[in-house]
Amino acid sequence: MLPSLGCFSVGVVLIFMNEATSIILRAITSIINRTPSHLLKEIVLVDDYSSNGK
């Protein structure tokens, strides 16, 4: 049996490599705008060894 829907929360892992800051911010904004606030627990950003030093 599945737990009730009130028990769920969501964590999003956003992995990027050599992306412009504006692209990353647009993705984060989209995640926040499209995910119900009571479900979204965290957004984790992972830089996958970017070579641009950012």
- What are 47's strand-pairing partners? 16
Is the dihedral angle over the CA atoms 24, 28, 33, 34 positive or is it negative?
positive
Q: For residue 52, is it within any domain?
A: no
- So what's the pLDDT on residue 7? 75
Q: For residue 41, is it within any domain?
A: yes
Task: List, for residues 1-54, the tens digit of each pLDDT value.
Answer: 555 666 789 999 999 999 999 999 999 999 999 999 999 999 999 999 999 765
Q: For residue 33, is it within any domain?
A: yes
Predicted model pTM:
0.79
- 46, 16 contact by CB (below 8 A): yes
Range of the domain at 32: 5-47
Domain count, the chain: 1
Name residues whose C-beta falls within 8 Å of residue 18's C-beta, 6 or more positions apart in sequence: 50, 51, 52
Q: For residue 12, is it within any domain?
A: yes
Q: For residue 54, is it within any domain?
A: no
Q: For residue 22, is it within any domain?
A: yes
Q: Would you state the structure tokens that stand for residue 40, as one six-digit string?
A: 């979204």
